[in-house]
Amino acid sequence: MVFSMETSKQETLSQVLSFRSFIFAIILAIFVYLLIMIFGDWEDLIKQIFNVDPLVVMLAVFLSLGNYFCRFFKWLLFTRSLELNIPFKDNFLIFFAGLSLSITPAKVGEAIRAFFLQKTSSVELSKGLASTFSERLIDLLAVTILALLGVFVLEFRQSVDFLPILVIILLGILLGVLIFLFDPLYNIFSWIFHLKPWFGVGKKIDKFRSDVVVTFHYDVFLGALLLGIIGWTCEGIGFFLLAQSLGISITFETSIFIYATSSLLGAVSFLPGGLGVMEGSMELFLVNLLVISLSTAGALVILIRMTTLWFGVTLGLIFLLLITQRLGKNVSEQSKMKFNS
C-alpha cells in the first residue's frame, strides 16, 4: 500500500516536472518579451538596456542571490523542523536545483526537491512536498505583506484602488494557514474528504497536513516569515537600483510596492513563472504611476526579470546538473557493490 502511494506521487511529480511544461514556459517567455519590445519601440528599449551601468546589473543579481539564500535558510528551517536527516551539502544542492523549475505554474516544479530528497536521503515524498509547500506559502505571505505595506505608505491616489484586492488576497492566505493549523477549522472542511467516495484522498490530505503543521511552529513560522520579507526586499532594492540607473524618478517605497504587487499577481495567476501577468502589471504600474514611456518601462521589466527569475533558473540548471551527476555516481557505485557481492 505504501509502495503504491509513493508510486502515484512519483507519477504526479513526473507530470508536473515534464520537459514539455519547461519548453512551454520558454516559448511563453519569448512571446511575452517580443510583445514588450514591439509595443515599446524596440530600438529605444534595447538602447536603454545597454546604457544601464553593468555594476548596477551585477548588484541586482547579487541582491537576487541574497533572496535565494534567504529562501534556502527558510527551506533549512522547514526540513529541520520535520527532523529530516539530510547532509547540509545535499540539502544545499537540492534546494538550488529546484530553482531550475521556477518557471512552472506557481513554481510547483520546485517540488522536484522532494524527489531528490527521496533519492539522496530516503526521505518520504510527503515530507519533501510538505517542506516545499510551506516554503512557497511563506513566500506568498511575505510578498503579500510587503505589497500591502506599500499601499499604505504610497501617497499615489491611484494605488489606493488596489487596497481591497490585496486585503482580500492576504486574508485568503491567512485563512488558508489557519485552516491548516487549527483542528476545529480543519475539521469543518476535512470531513467532506472523509466521506466514502473520497476517503482515500482524505487520508492522504491528513498525512500531508500532519507533516506541514510541524513546519509551522511559532519560532519556525516567524523566522521563515522574516527571512521571506528580507529576501523579497532585497529584490525590491534591485528593482529600485535598476530603475534609478534607467533615469526613472522613483522612491524606494514605490519600488517595493510595484515589485511586490506585480510578483504577487504573477504568483496567483498560476501561469509559468507568472509570465505575462507579472510583466504586464509591472508595466501598467510604471506607466500609470510614474508616467514614463513604454520603452523605458519595458527595459526595466526585462532587466529585473533577467536578474531575478532567469538568473535563478540558470543557477538552478547548474545545480540540477550537479545533483543529477551525483545521483548517477551513487547509482553506479551501488551497482558495483551488488556486482562484487
pLDDT tens digits, 312-332: 999 999 999 998 888 776 645
Query: Is 4 exposed, middle or buried (CB count within 10 Å of its CB: 0-12, 13-18, 19+)?
Result: exposed
Specify the pLDDT at position 9: 46
Helices marked H in the chain — which ranges?
Answer: 2-16, 19-39, 42-51, 54-81, 88-98, 112-121, 125-153, 157-160, 163-181, 183-190, 199-215, 218-245, 252-268, 277-290, 294-307, 309-340
Q: Over the stretch 208-248, which tens digit does the pLDDT of each residue have?
A: 777 777 777 788 889 999 999 999 999 999 999 999 999 99
Name which residue leads in pLDDT, 331 or 79: 79
pLDDT at 182: 74
Mean pLDDT over 183-192 rounds to: 75
E-assigned strand segments in 103-188:
none
Assess whether pLDDT exceeds 70 at residue 64.
yes
Residue 299: predicted pLDDT:
95
DSSP state of 236: H
Provide the β-strand partners of residue 272: 105
> Which residue has 485552516 as its cell numbers?
179
pLDDT at 13 over 50: no
Q: What's the mean pLDDT in 302-321?
A: 95
The pLDDT of residue 17 is above 60: no
Q: Cα dihedral angle (67, 72, 75, 80), rounded to 10 degrees?
A: -140
pLDDT for res 199: 64
As a whole number, mean pLDDT of residues 267-273 equals 83
What letter does residue 52 receive in the DSSP assignment? Answer: S
Q: Residue 8: which pLDDT band, with cuts at 50, 70 and 90?
A: very low
C-alpha cell at 92: 544545499
Task: Out of 55-59, 82-86, 276-280, 318-322, pick the least confident.
Answer: 82-86
pLDDT of 74 strictly over 90: yes
- Residues 278, 279, 282, 287: what is their CA dihedral angle, to the nearest 10 degrees? -150
Q: Which cell numbers hold the place of 325?
A: 551527476
Q: Which three cell numbers mark 51?
A: 546604457
pLDDT of residue 247: 94
Cα 71 to Cα 229: distance, rounded to the nearest angstrom = 10
Task: Give dist(CA 214, CA 226) in Å, integer.
Answer: 18
More confident call, 37 vs 337: 37
Which residues are bridge partners to 105 per DSSP?
272
Position 160 pLDDT exceeds 60: no
260 versus 122: the higher-pLDDT residue is 260
141 and 229 in contact (C-beta within 8 Å)?
A: no
Q: Is the pLDDT of residue 272 over 70?
A: yes
Mean pLDDT rounded to a whole number for the chain: 82
Cα separation, 72 vs 92, whole angstroms: 7
Asked whether 298 and 40 are in contact (CB, 8 A), the reply is yes
Q: What percent of the chain has pLDDT over 90?
A: 37
Question: Is 283 or 131 the better-scoring residue by pLDDT?
Answer: 283
Q: Cα(34)–Cα(30) distance, rounded to whole angstroms? A: 6
Alpha-carbon distance 58 to 52, whole Å?
11
- Residue 269, SS3? coil
Phi, psi of 214 (to 5 degrees): -60, -35
What pLDDT score was predicted for residue 334? 52
For 18-31, the pLDDT digits (tens) are 567 778 888 888 99
Weakest mean pLDDT among 147-161, 164-178, 248-262, 281-295:
147-161
* C-alpha distance from residue 137 to each of 17, 131, 140, 228 (Å): 20, 10, 5, 10
